Copies of this chain bind each other. A is one copy, B any other.
């Protein structure tokens, strides 16, 4: 493991200083190579699919695992899109001249070696590898066991292109020991690895946060809310709530709970219930909600749950403060929205709610690299430090200070 990681670390110095021109040329070659090897990739993927069927993976899981011609084409195009993004390395983030006439520049640089732990979808392998390469980083990828053949095939094709360009193939690596023990070892190697990004189940993320001696940027759950204020515009309420809950309930930026101001509850809950019924949404309500509409009773624990399904909690609150209190207690700091036309209430909500993304009069479903206009994303960070919310290519950089002097010494 240490040998392998040492090579990754050494490669990182080469990748960090590649020119934009070379990086983009290599990425475009990678995209073409994936397309040219479509049948090989599908062949290897079919081994994973066979195992998945034998192991009775859910049909949803099987669908995520499956590669076909269209999906390989999409993977190649994602790499082309990443190549077209603005160079993330070398941006001058800040700069000034000190009292001693030192010229200080704060410049973006690659992070170094990034370990990424993920599951299922094999396109994550090529997406992440391309994002890391574009930002001058080396990636150590640990995909799911169920996708092992697909991931190996994809990595091999990308590595071939690296070697054709006289670049170290370790710049895009799969973790050699992909067992749980392998991960446990990886997250202790702080001499060689600069960042760990876990995407996956709560238990995995918990294990990594507690045991890693390397900084971790979590992609954890989203328990998101919409607060419908008494001054909400009723026309916007239904479309936004339906979009935020029903468009893709399995997404982390979908909502779990709506908080409804007591003054507006009698006027909107019946209508909302009817519309959500058409969407097949299962509703659970607090005691107060049950006074207005007939739904299941929401238990305390329901408010903590990330459903990832078409289920919605309703809680009636008496003011914006109670809504904020509820969000701070039950929310996961992901995406929170207020529907209101009241300037002061909106201002209070946006200022006081502590979450990666706080919205006024919009669906929480916009928390996404593509929707934000950041391009392809590594994921959505639920960390509070370094990167928060949609994590684009610029979030895969850190910085250093370059200081230009003319012989200065400190007084």
Contact = CB atoms under 8 A, between A and B. Distances in A.
Interface of A: 13, 16-17, 96, 98-100, 102, 104, 109, 111-112, 188, 190, 194-195, 209-210, 213, 215-216, 233, 235-236, 239-240, 242-244, 247, 328, 350-352, 354-363, 365-366, 368, 371-373, 383-386, 388-389, 398-410
A59 to B, nearest CB: 25
Most buried by B among A99, A401, A407: A401
Contacts of A365: 409-410
Contacts of A360: 402-405
Number of copies: 2
A109 B357 CA distance: 12
Contact of A401 (B210, B235, B358, B408): B358
Given A385-B215, A400-B356, A409 B102 contact: no
Contacts of A244: 409
A352 B13 contact: yes
A409 B363 CA distance: 5
A373 B95 CA distance: 11
A188 B244 CA distance: 34
Contact of A373 (B98, B235, B356): B98
A164 to B, nearest CB: 25
A234 B17 CA distance: 30
22 contacts: A16-B352, A16-B354, A17-B351, A96-B373, A111-B385, A112-B384, A215-B215, A236-B407, A242-B409, A354-B400, A359-B403, A359-B405, A360-B404, A360-B405, A361-B406, A361-B408, A362-B406, A362-B407, A368-B410, A384-B398, A388-B400, A389-B400
